[in-house]
Amino acid sequence: MSDNIQRVTVLSKTTWTPNLFSFTVTRPESFKFTAGQFVRLGVNPSKLKYYQNKSDEVADKALDEDIFRAYSIVSSPFDEVLEFFSIVIEDGAFTSQLQHLQVGDELLLNTMPFGFLTLARYQKPLPKDLWLLATGTGLAPFLSMLQDLQTWEDYEHIVLAYSARSKDELAYIETIERLQEDFGTLVDNPAKLIFVPIVTREKIEGALSERLPQLLLNGKLQQQAGIALDIDSAHVMLCGNPEMVEDTKETLKSMGMVMNRRGEGNIAVENYW
């Protein structure tokens, strides 16, 4: 086993829908990361309690090998535990096994953090507005950023637009609602958090219903947020479904924004592959 690989223990699990769940694990003392980064988690299905409690015939079908996938970290860089947000992919080699996690199970953690979807990538002075546009589990790195006091100090407005197919898939709503209360009071002149929920397959009061690229082009997202999306005053970060990220990126570019390069530019995305 690599020196960077450590075993971590599952402490809790939250099931949001049949296909969405979150879980927390122990945090190695030496592990450090920047809000927005991701790690590689490993699972060996044959070592999960779920399979060990099955018949020998079923257990034998479980792969007896370590499978690793990239996961953004939900928790703050200062939390004592690590939290992750996962979707279940049908027949997926990793998540189809990970969904059976139970408290006490062991996972593998590559303690080398990856990724550049961090606020540190932007050169100062920073503009006044931060737009965080997420679909599904792409919410994870933004929750980590919003649990870092520096984020609240650096901006005047933070717009969190979170899109899901149904109301049930809008996870962490209570966490989002109390972020301003929890962190805004710890900073002089903190940023104002503006939360914009989006549900694309149901009509929900108070939520927008179109895809993010359309909402940007027709101005409904900006109208709901109550502030303009200005080239000179905004950073925009995208995370979620690859199709959404690509379409929204191109939409923003058509509106005059540019990709962030060497600290300059508006648009930042993560590449997990």
> What is the mean pLDDT of each successive set of 10 residues along the chain, which is 273 residues long?
86 95 96 96 84 57 76 96 92 78 94 92 83 97 96 95 96 95 89 97 94 97 96 94 95 95 87 63
What is the CB-side half-sphere exposure of residue 248 using CA atoms within 13 A? Answer: 27
**pLDDT score for 50:** 76
CATH architecture of the domain covering 5-114: Beta Barrel (2.40)
Contact 138, 115 (CB under 8 A): no
Exposed / middle / buried, residue 112 (Cβ in 10 Å: 0-12, 13-18, 19+): middle
Which two three-digit tokens encode residue 99?
């969904």
Q: How far apart are CA 60 and CA 165, in angstroms?
A: 36
CA distances from 149 to 54, 128, 162, 191, 209 (A): 46, 16, 21, 10, 31
**Using alpha carbons only, what angle is made at residue 269 by residues 266 and 273, rounded to the nearest 5 degrees?**
155
**pLDDT score for 65:** 80
**pLDDT score for 272:** 65
List where CATH 2.40.30.10 sits in the chain. Answer: 5-114
What are the respective helix, strand and coil percentages of the chain, to the nearest 5?
30, 30, 40
Q: How far apart are CA 204 and CA 198, in angstroms?
A: 9
Q: How far apart are CA 122 and CA 257, in angstroms?
A: 15
Residue type, 22: S
CATH architecture of the domain covering 119-269: 3-Layer(aba) Sandwich (3.40)
**pLDDT score for 188:** 87
Contact 208, 224 (CB under 8 A): yes
Distinct helix (H) and strand (E) counts, the chain: 9, 11
Chain-centroid distance of CA 100 in Å reads 21
**pLDDT score for 46:** 77
**pLDDT score for 120:** 87
List where CATH 3.40.50.80 sits in the chain. Answer: 119-269
DSSP 105: -
Strands 106-114 and 5-17: antiparallel
**pLDDT score for 263:** 78
Nearest to 141 by CA among 264, 33, 225, 68: 33
Reply yes or no: is the peptide bond before residue 127 cis, omega within 30 of 0.
no
Residue type, 240: G
**pLDDT score for 58:** 46
